[in-house]
Amino acid sequence: EIVLTQSPGTLSLSPGERATLSCRASQSVTSRSLAWYQHKPGRAPRLLIYGASIRATGIPDRFSGSGSGTDFTLTISRLEPEDFAVYFCQQYDKSPRTSGLGTKVEIK
C-alpha cells in the first residue's frame, strides 16, 4: 500500500504567516488523486483540497494545493486564527486509501 509521510510533524507559526505542509508518497500517486483535510479536536475532518489542487466548495482561497507524483504540498498563504488545527493528506489512487499522520499547525 502507499505510505504517506507528512512533514513537519508540528509547525509553530503566528497568525498572518505562511504555512507550507508537505506530503510525500512511497510510490507515485497517479492522476493527482490526493486530498487534504483539516481536523480540529472533537470535530469532523473537513475536506479542503482534492485532485491535489482543487479547492472544495466553500474553502477560502488562502488554501492551495500543489504537486504530483510523490510530492504534494498544502499552502496556507496567511494564517487566520481558525486555521490552527491538524492537517492530513489522503491518497485515493490505489486501494486501500491511505492517510498521512498529519501536521499540527500551532500558534507560536
Partner 1 sequence: QVTLRESGPALVKPTQTLKLTCTFSGFSLNTFGMSVNWFRQPPGKALEWLAHIDWEDEKFYSASLKTRLSVSKDTSENQVILTLTNVDPVDTGTYYCTRVRAVDTDMIVDYWGQGMLVTVSS
3-state secondary structure of 75: strand
What is the CB neighbour count within 10 angstroms for residue 36?
27
Considering the rule CB under 8 A, would residue 63 count as an interface residue with partner 1? no
Q: Measuring CA to CA, how many Å separate 9 from each of 5, 30, 59, 61, 74?
A: 10, 25, 23, 24, 14
Which of the stretches 13-21, 48-56, 59-67, 71-79 binds partner 1 when contact is defined by CB under 8 A? 48-56
Measured CA to CA, the distance from residue 108 to residue 105 in angstroms comes to 9
Which of the stretches 12-20, 35-43, 61-69, 76-84 binds partner 1 when contact is defined by CB under 8 A? 35-43
Sign of CA dihedral 10, 83, 19, 70: positive
C-beta of 67 vs 102, nearer to partner 1: 102
CB of 45 to partner 1, least distance (A): 4
Considering the rule CB under 8 A, would residue 31 count as an interface residue with partner 1? yes
Considering the rule CB under 8 A, would residue 24 count as an interface residue with partner 1? no
Q: Which residues bind partner 1 (CB under 8 A)?
A: 4, 31, 33, 35, 37, 42-47, 50-51, 56, 88, 90, 92, 95-102
